[in-house]
A and B are shown apart, each in its own frame.
Chain A
Amino acid sequence: MSQDTLFDKVWDLHKVSSLPGGSDQIFIGLHLIHEVTSPQAFGALKDKNLKVKFPDRTVATVDHIVPTDNQSRPFKDNLAEKMIETLEKNCLEHKIRFFNIGSGNQGIVHVVAPELGLTQPGMTIACGDSHTSTHGAFGSIAFGIGTSQVRDVLASQTLAINKLKVRQIWCDNKLSKGVYAKDLVLHIINKLGVKAGVGFAYEFAGPAIHELSMEERMTICNMSIEGGARCGYINPDEKTFSYIKNKLCAPKNEHWDKALRWWKSLKSDENSIYDDVIKLDASKVEPTVTWGITPGQSISINQQIPLLDELSPNDKLVAKEAYEYMSFKPGQLIKDTPIDVCFIGSCTNGRISDLRVAAKVLKGKKVSKNVKAFAVPGSEKVATEAKQEGIDQIFKNAGFQWREPGCSMCLAMNSDKLIGNQISASSSNRNFKGRQGSPNGRTLLMSPAMVAAAAINGKVSDVREFNNL
């Protein structure tokens, strides 16, 4: 059993009681909600005649269902309009702070909370969304929950949950040029497998992680869940603190000093005990692309899609399914695969640094005429910043559509969808069957820089061959 890791410390600090069955009752410091997984939870509160216990500890925004082309109300989609209205009504009734469209702070919940300074080291954070693991980048313990658990947090600010084991993933050296956090996390998921993280929290550590910016760290922690780990985190450091400083909801003045003192004390001890430790060399990671129907089915840009014989017995079943669904042949190169749609956005890679790196690749170039390309900033703040830096113009000049913030084609709950068996190069997090809105649509996950390169060439490309990197 792990001891003295950051995970253990934060868990113990938030433990309210040991429940009769053996799970723990954990206090949730920050609860984030959105329109998709909260309405039934508010409904259940009403049925049970309960109130929201600490309305100040819950913050709402709207992201999954928002259209990215025309956000004027009412939305064209009646069901989407009904969902945003329900969230507005629930927040008003229960006095929950809501960052609505046009507030200047709306966006994907996992982009918004960090940029507001709500996400802080040492907190427990829960949200009815599996990518809540993102917030672990700040040294918080953050995980996704279902709607019944959203109800429990609203009613009690606590959760009944079993303590996780802790696996340290130590990344030596540093990423080479043209290789990004997305490549590293896809590589990790490929090496460990999509279910290795079940029952674990992942601690990402080592020189390669230390080197990453806060936004890159969020990309890593965001995809912990794709490796099966409900929670992923990184010990906080100076980069963490300076990212939070001066954010809207960050502690100010004498409170900042107190916060900083406490945050600096928060990290895994040098001789802490892990349930498991994995080491890898980050300098060996290359631009990585998925070829299949799970985020674990990825290869380096110059590799061939694996043959069935090269895979472990446990991976063969899904591999067979993947060859068929993707219409790929075992042994085929992934490079030069023609692309129909390019999508840059999502809670994984929809932040300003993601747009900056893609803009660098796109500058002065044109999107291939066979490709429909669109960029969806992760939040209103990201969109504003991008406009100030002229990034939106670079995207538009290259032939990208520049959209309003939201989750968009990561999960295709709005009208941004693949059609038929179109194949997308996507900076999002899931390549599941049907994920991007068409029951036979196909997704290749990659870094935003690689998506930009694919958009220009109309096919999967090695971004390292672009000399303006």
Chain B
Amino acid sequence: MKSEFTPPIGKISNITGQCISLIGNDIDTDRIIPARFLKCVNFNSLSESVFEDDRKTLKGKHPFDLKENKNASILVVNSNFGCGSSREHAPQALMRWGIKAIIGESFADIFYSNCIAIGIPCFTLPKKSIEEIQNYCDKQSLFLEIDLKNSLAESKDLNFNLEIKESSRKMFLSGEWDATSTLLDNENLIEKKFNQLPYIKFNTNFL
């Protein structure tokens, strides 16, 4: 288990860390954090329960239990990672375990939005490159330096041009990924929109 957790804040431009490879397509958020752990009113205690059932099944052999991955912070996954339930508890649990960025073949939409909203950049790479990283991780530790400005991942042996949605990249570089204040900057426009919407007027029974 990791030491104390500090959430990311402000601009995110570089992430350096060891990769942890998790093989499998369509890994859903129920697997990342089973529903019984959602019975909480804050996210603080989630890190211990990440992948709880998968880890129990693999009896210590799950990547999140291997000693050599103890300090890893860049998760490498296959396709449609984070599908299913919208629970933000899933990326929150990963983040609290120590994950700071994810590289995968593809991500489910809501999971991706949740990651962006809490400051975990998600990058994509073609299947071949992901497999290359995963094979490498099988044999030895891989330390990557991710440069968000140029969308690059570099290491001693492997280098990749990462893909990331332009809007997400810009938000991380400017620090606007924590969207609340950006949205509230347009308070006048929000009021204006509220007054323009046709259904606001005819929904007098709404409440």
Contacts and interface: CB of A to CB of B under 8 A. Distances in A.
Residue among B56, B113, B170 with most chain A CB within 10 A? B113
B18 interface: no
Interface in B10-25: 24-25
Interface in A108-152: 117-118, 120, 122-123, 128-130, 132, 143-149, 151-152
B30 A22 contact: no
Contact of A433 (B53, B79, B205): B53
Interface stretch (A252-260, A283-291, A393-401): A252-260
A14 B179 contact: no
Interface string B81-100: 00111111101000000000
B180 A14 contact: no
Contacts of B174: 20-21
Instruction: Determine the interface band of chain B, counting residues with CB < 8 A from chain A.
Output: 35 or more
Given A195-B106, A198-B80, A251 B204 contact: yes
A82 interface: yes
B206 A194 contact: no
A382 B19 CA distance: 50
A393 B171 CA distance: 57
A14 B196 CA distance: 9
Residue among B40, B117, B190, B203 with most chain A CB within 10 A? B203
A228 B183 contact: no
A435 interface: yes
Interface stretch (B66-74, B132-140, B145-153, B160-168): B160-168
B199 A146 contact: no
B170 A413 contact: no
Given A130-B86, A413-B39, A228 B202 contact: no
A199 B36 CA distance: 29
Nearest to A321: B24
Given A156-B184, A160-B182, A228 B206 contact: no
Contact of B36 (A22, A23, A412): A412
B32 to A, nearest CB: 11
Contacts of B129: none
A439 B54 CA distance: 8
Interface residues of A, number: 92
Interface string B182-196: 111011011001100
Nearest to B173: A21
B205 A248 contact: yes
Interface string A21-58: 11101010100000011011001000010100110100
A48 B180 contact: yes
Residue among B34, B43, B189 with most chain A CB within 10 A? B34
Contacts of A192: none
Nearest to A123: B199
A80 B166 contact: no
Contacts of A251: 202-205
Contacts of B57: 439-440
Contacts of B117: 146, 148-149, 152
A317 interface: yes
A157 B190 contact: yes
Contact of A411 (B24, B35, B83): B35
Contacts of B193: 14, 16, 27
B110 interface: yes
Contact of A249 (B54, B200, B203): B203
B113 A161 contact: yes
B158 to A, nearest CB: 23
Given A53-B190, A144-B110, A317-B25, 13 more contacts: A16-B189, A21-B176, A37-B86, A129-B85, A130-B85, A130-B86, A130-B110, A148-B117, A160-B183, A255-B205, A259-B203, A434-B53, A435-B30
Interface of A: 13-14, 16-17, 19-23, 25, 27, 29, 36-37, 39-40, 43, 48, 50, 53-54, 56, 59, 64-65, 77, 79-80, 82-83, 86, 97, 117-118, 120, 122-123, 128-130, 132, 143-149, 151-152, 155-162, 194-195, 198-199, 225-226, 228, 230, 248-252, 255-256, 258-259, 262, 294, 314, 317-318, 321, 411-413, 430, 432-435, 437, 439-440
